[in-house]
């Protein structure tokens, strides 16, 4: 019996919730009336409550005899004044709580208005288990109910919630009582309410649904982009799912302080400002794409997660993985020129990176406590899960897959499901054994490497084994949907198979073979003997996605010790010689940056010369200055190449040019962003002060974060100290402080200094930062790749556990050890 699960002897059907937030005292008072169904005679009712004081209540007019709190399990036990018999009943409770500063439950967010005055917003973040911090409730996903919310707010402030506003009347004391329409039947974690000095755009009608952007006062000029993306995606998903949007309105709400990127609250989706308030002129293509991704992701949840919901938190992966998959679909349709599926390779690479560790986990695994649920929000849930969904879609065919999804949503609307319910729907639609295929990908940790080897007869044999960076293996096997392109005397052909045991592709010796040419499979590929050279020299012209996959796989094999660092650098030079695609160069730049980070000072000169010889000609082909009408991705590529040449190649001319660009006001957004990064990485105290001032007066959220993160890159110990201090002294928002500290940990020369600061201020950091950001912040320790720092990190984190991310921390520590070995090999190669 899970002690965190509620009994089912009393279940909710309908909540009437009234809240009175005090934005000056940072408190709230509330009352809730819940229509419940008593399943069997009870003398007590157990529900969830945390950080609340229940002051009184009654069940059908019979006063409670008392309230007992179970703080460990975040529950309240209501002692009834008389036993309750089976049947419908109505529970009334009065309660109060604090508007906390922890970015969870019912909390406060602040911003400075145009007059320089600090203003306060009261807002919510309930997923996974924080509705219980706003009102007593049955806070589990399968205990769905409807919600009718009333907010009593000061005159002059705006209030929004999940339902449409249906009434607003004065209370006679300088406040208004704002009532909202009942929601659909849904889980507690999907309810939201926001009160504060807010404004809203005029609604845009999308197939009958009014869509608005709600934002802090004075920021309406940054809403047009999100309205356009939101309108497109809402219409796109109604068509894709063949089900109307299930709410009565849709508000996208920008919140200044927000622990996550966004939250799919029904009808009232909340976002970090950077992901909703966008100036297309000063933002880069990547910044706009990220905003579009997140908007699409949250709107996909309106169906997949909200309309149909997992029964328990072990199913978080399915709603998040599917929404990630859907964001790619929608954004690819919104801007085909962005080649969104190609860019997904970078996210997928990050999931591969975690999944190659011994400390990885299955995508779906048991969840007992709220801390377990918090630990589910990681790369494996989102990116590996989405990659598995994409692999399945391509295996079944896009149309059969979509039809199965539609059937699943229709059958389970307003209800809760297990993962196998989706597999069964897809199996019925496609006539394929989906459960068998997907079980090994979802319930088993890790992923395979598929090795292509040529036998004595010339036949190509494919085999699989688990891929791990530590080169350990086991008997794990997958149902691997393999696609292989094979070239011979005749035209190239495509072979498709589900790989389990080793299999020969062809008895004849092909000219070349490429495994996973569409990059849909979530597996690594290793080419033995001369097969890689035959592919590169005698194979077809590889498209950008195929080149990307080769780079990504070759680097993974290098990290795992299957290939030498020298081999990888020679391979990178070969690819870079004529490479002109953004995604490929991003991966190349990332891997070359990793090598530079680990290189000894004496070996950097030779490496920099090689990087300069790769990036310089590529930048010459693209040109320093934008051309009218050029593709957005070309501008982004230019920025990547400028950074790589100036920082990785230490090119004096490029550094000087970046200084000139930073001094101008009319530089292209991608070039301007690159210039800031270069000046920070090569700059001095005066440059630091300039960027710090730009951060403080940044006119958009994107520029604010750009300048803030640049402060982590300076190569000066005193400046590092200033940046570290601002992360915990209130200068930086708590939502961003974890990213700043991680960026400092990743600083090549001053990461150890940052680690010393974090260990010294550990208690302050844990008190100030949202709990969810601590595991992400600690991802930076993997950059501390010396044996001494690895030992010190492990010792410290063993003595200071992070319960909400214990497995994620184990992954960081393991990757740190992998990097210790890689660093040794890098320095042996470069000298």
pLDDT score at 365: 87
The answer to whether 252 and 239 have CB atoms below 8 angstroms apart is no
Q: Is pLDDT above 90 for 760?
A: yes
The answer to whether 49 and 134 have CB atoms below 8 angstroms apart is no
121-151 b/e with 16+ CB inside 10 Å = b?
A: bbbbbbbbbbbbbbbbbbbbbebbbbbbbbb
Cα–Cα distance, 552 to 804 (Å, whole number): 31
Look at 5-19, 321-335, 373-387, 613-627 and tell me which has the smallest mean pLDDT: 373-387
Q: Strand 75-84: give its sheet, edge to edge.
A: 42-48, 75-84, 66-70
Write the CA distances from 189 to 42, 124, 313, 629, integer angstroms: 26, 10, 11, 45
pTM: 0.97
pLDDT score at 455: 87
Q: Is pLDDT above 70 for 540?
A: yes
Band of the pLDDT at 445, cuts 50, 70, 90? very high
Cα–Cα distance, 204 to 50 (Å, whole number): 38
Write the CA distances from 636 to 373, 544, 586, 655, 811, integer angstroms: 36, 15, 10, 18, 31
Band of the pLDDT at 507, cuts 50, 70, 90? low
- Per-residue DSSP letters for 21-61? EETTTTEEEEEEEEEEEE-S-EEEEEEE-SSEEEEEEEETT
Burial label for 488, CB within 10 Å (0-12, 13-18, 19+), is: middle
Query: In this structure, what is the dihedral angle of CA atoms 361, 363, 366, 370, given to the nearest 10 degrees?
Result: 90
Look at 162-171, 260-269, 482-491 and tell me which has the smallest mean pLDDT: 482-491
Burial label for 441, CB within 10 Å (0-12, 13-18, 19+), is: buried
CA 48 to chain centre: 28
CA 662 to chain centre: 30
The answer to whether 130 and 104 have CB atoms below 8 angstroms apart is yes
Q: Is pLDDT above 70 for 258?
A: yes
- Using one digit for the tens of pLDDT, what is the confidence trace for 666-696? 899 999 999 999 999 999 999 999 999 999 9
The answer to whether 734 and 103 have CB atoms below 8 angstroms apart is yes
- Using one digit for the tens of pLDDT, what is the confidence trace for 12-43? 999 999 999 999 999 999 999 999 999 999 99
For the segment 491-497, the average pLDDT, to the nearest whole number, is: 87
CA-based R_g, the chain, Å? 28
Nearest to 282 by CA among 716, 694, 753: 694
**Higher pLDDT among residues 125 and 511, named by residue:** 125
Tokens encoding 476: 């794990």
Q: Which of the residues 127, 140, 148, 298 is marked catalytic?
A: 298
SS3 category, 678: helix
Q: Strand 460-466: give its sheet, edge to edge.
A: 503-506, 460-466, 448-454, 524-527
- The sign of the torsion formed by the CA atoms of 746, 751, 757, 762 equals positive
Cα–Cα distance, 141 to 129 (Å, whole number): 9
Cα–Cα distance, 698 to 382 (Å, whole number): 31
Q: Is pLDDT above 70 for 209?
A: yes
The answer to whether 723 and 711 have CB atoms below 8 angstroms apart is yes
Cα–Cα distance, 406 to 403 (Å, whole number): 5
* Residue with the two structure tokens 């072990």: 314
* Residue with the two structure tokens 């089976």: 86
Nearest to 523 by CA among 442, 465, 453, 586: 465
pLDDT score at 58: 98
- Per-residue DSSP letters for 396-456? H-HHHHHHHHHHHHHHTTTEEE-HHHHHHHHHHHH-S-HHHHHHHHHSS-S-EEEEEEE-T
- Omega prior to 65 cis, within 30 of 0: no
Tokens encoding 261: 């990127």
Nearest to 222 by CA among 257, 272, 293, 261: 272
SS3 category, 306: coil
pLDDT score at 504: 92
Q: Is 298 a catalytic residue?
A: yes
- Using one digit for the tens of pLDDT, what is the confidence trace for 222-242? 999 999 999 999 999 999 999
For the segment 562-575, the average pLDDT, to the nearest whole number, is: 98
680-711 b/e with 16+ CB inside 10 Å = b?
A: bbbbeeebbebbbebbeebebbbbbbbbbbbb
Question: Apex CA 226: angle with CA 223 and CA 227, to 5°?
Answer: 85
Tokens encoding 112: 């400075």
Tokens encoding 618: 């590529």
Cα–Cα distance, 213 to 200 (Å, whole number): 6
Residue 165, H or E segment: strand 165-170
Residues 6+ apart with CB under 8 A from 171: 152, 177
pLDDT score at 491: 77
Q: Is pLDDT above 70 for 117?
A: yes
pLDDT score at 120: 98
Nearest to 358 by CA among 792, 817, 831, 827: 817
Band of the pLDDT at 276, cuts 50, 70, 90? very high
Cα–Cα distance, 689 to 718 (Å, whole number): 12
* Residue with the two structure tokens 């009958």: 208
The answer to whether 541 and 478 have CB atoms below 8 angstroms apart is no
When the pLDDT of each residue in the chain is averaged and rounded to a whole number, the result is: 96
Cα–Cα distance, 282 to 274 (Å, whole number): 13
Nearest to 252 by CA among 183, 177, 194: 194
Count of C-beta atoms within a 10 Å radius of residue 793: 22
For the segment 754-773, the average pLDDT, to the nearest whole number, is: 96
Cα–Cα distance, 555 to 561 (Å, whole number): 10
The answer to whether 229 and 295 have CB atoms below 8 angstroms apart is yes
pLDDT score at 458: 86
The answer to whether 704 and 698 have CB atoms below 8 angstroms apart is yes
458-483 b/e with 16+ CB inside 10 Å = b?
A: eebbbebebbbbeeeeeeeebebbbb
pLDDT score at 243: 98
């Amino acid at each position: 019996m899970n002690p965190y699960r509620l009994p089912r002897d009393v279940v909710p059907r309908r909540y009437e919730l009234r809240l009175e937030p005090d934005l000056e005292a940072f408190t709230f008072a509330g009352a809730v009336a819940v229509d419940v169904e008593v399943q069997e005679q009870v003398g007590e009712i157990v529900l969830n409550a945390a950080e609340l004081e229940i002051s009184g209540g009654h069940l059908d007019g019979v006063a409670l005899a008392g309230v007992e709190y179970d703080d460990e399990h975040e529950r309240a036990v209501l002692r009834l004044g008389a036993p309750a018999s089976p049947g419908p009943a109505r529970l009334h409770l009065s309660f109060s709580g604090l508007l906390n500063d922890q970015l969870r439950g019912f909390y406060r967010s602040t911003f400075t208005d145009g007059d320089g005055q600090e203003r306060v917003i009261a807002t919510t973040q309930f997923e996974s288990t924080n509705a219980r911090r706003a009102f007593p409730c049955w806070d589990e996903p399968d205990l769905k109910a409807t919600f009718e919310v009333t907010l009593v707010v000061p005159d002059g402030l705006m209030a929004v919630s999940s339902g449409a506003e249906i009434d607003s009347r004065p209370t006679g004391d300088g406040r208004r009582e704002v009532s909202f329409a009942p929601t659909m039947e849904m889980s507690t974690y999907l309810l939201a309410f926001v009160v504060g000095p807010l404004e809203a755009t005029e609604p845009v009608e999308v197939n009958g649904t009014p869509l608005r952007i709600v934002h802090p006062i004075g920021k309406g000029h940054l809403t047009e982009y999100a309205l356009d993306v939101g309108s497109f995606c809402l219409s796109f998903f109604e068509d894709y799912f063949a089900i109307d949007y299930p709410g009565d309105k849709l508000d996208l709400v920008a919140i200044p302080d927000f622990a996550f990127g966004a939250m799919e609250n029904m009808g009232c989706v909340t976002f970090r400002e950077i992901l909703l308030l966008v100036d297309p002129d000063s933002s880069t293509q990547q910044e706009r794409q990220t905003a579009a991704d997140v908007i699409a992701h949250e709107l996909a949840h309106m169906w997949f997660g909200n309309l149909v919901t997992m029964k328990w938190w072990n199913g978080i992966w399915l709603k998040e993985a599917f929404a990630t998959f859907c964001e790619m679909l929608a954004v690819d349709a919104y801007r085909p020129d962005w080649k969104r599926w190609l860019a997904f390779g970078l996210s997928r690479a990050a999931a591969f990176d975690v999944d190659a560790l011994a400390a990885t986990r299955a995508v779906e695994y048991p969840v007992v406590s709220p801390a377990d649920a918090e630990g589910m929000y990681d790369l494996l849930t989102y990116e590996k899960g989405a990659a598995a969904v994409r692999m399945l879609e391509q295996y079944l065919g896009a149309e059969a897959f979509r039809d199965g999804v539609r059937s699943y949503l229709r059958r389970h609307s307003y209800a809760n499901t297990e993962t196998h319910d989706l597999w069964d729907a897809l199996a019925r639609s496609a006539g394929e054994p989906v459960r068998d295929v997907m079980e090994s990908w979802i319930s088993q940790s890790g992923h395979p490497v598929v090795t292509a080897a040529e036998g004595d007869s010339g036949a190509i044999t494919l085999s699989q084994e688990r891929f791990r960076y530590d080169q350990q293996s086991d008997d794990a096997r997958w149902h691997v949907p393999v696609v292989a392109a094979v070239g011979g005397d005749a035209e190239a052909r495509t072979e498709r198979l589900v790989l389990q045991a080793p299999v020969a592709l062809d008895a004849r010796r092909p000219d070349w073979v490429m495994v996973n040419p569409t990059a849909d499979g979530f597996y690594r590929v290793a080419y033995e003997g001369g097969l890689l050279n035959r592919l590169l020299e005698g194979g077809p012209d590889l498209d950008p996605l195929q080149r990307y996959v080769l780079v990504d796989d070759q680097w993974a094999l290098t990290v795992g010790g299957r290939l030498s660092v020298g081999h990888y650098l020679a391979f990178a030079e070969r690819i870079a010689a004529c490479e002109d695609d953004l995604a490929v160069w991003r991966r190349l730049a990332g891997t070359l940056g990793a090598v530079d980070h680990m290189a000894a000072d004496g070996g950097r000169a030779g490496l920099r010369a090689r990087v300069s010889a790769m990036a310089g000609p590529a930048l010459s082909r693209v040109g320093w200055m934008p051309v009218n009408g050029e593709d957005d991705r070309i501008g982004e590529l230019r920025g990547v190449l400028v950074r790589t040449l100036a920082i990785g190649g230490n090119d004096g001319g490029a550094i000087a040019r970046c200084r000139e660009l930073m001094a101008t006001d009319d530089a292209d957004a991608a070039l301007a962003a690159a210039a800031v990064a270069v000046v920070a990485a090569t700059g001095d105290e005066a440059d630091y002060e300039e960027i710090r001032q730009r951060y403080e007066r940044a006119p958009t959220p994107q520029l604010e974060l750009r300048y803030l993160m640049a402060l982590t890159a300076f190569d000066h110990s005193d400046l590092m100290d200033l940046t570290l201090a601002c992360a915990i002294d209130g200068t930086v928002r708590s939502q961003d402080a974890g990213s700043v500290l991680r960026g400092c940990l990743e600083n090549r020369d001053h990461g150890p200094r940052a680690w010393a600061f974090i260990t010294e201020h550990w208690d302050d950091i844990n008190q100030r930062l949202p709990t969810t950001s601590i595991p992400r912040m600690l991802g930076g320790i993997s950059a501390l790749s010396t044996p001494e720092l690895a030992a010190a990190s492990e010792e410290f984190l063993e003595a200071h556990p992070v319960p909400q991310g214990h497995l994620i921390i184990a992954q960081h520590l393991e990757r740190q050890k992998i990097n210790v070995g890689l660093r040794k090999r890098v320095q042996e190669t470069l000298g």
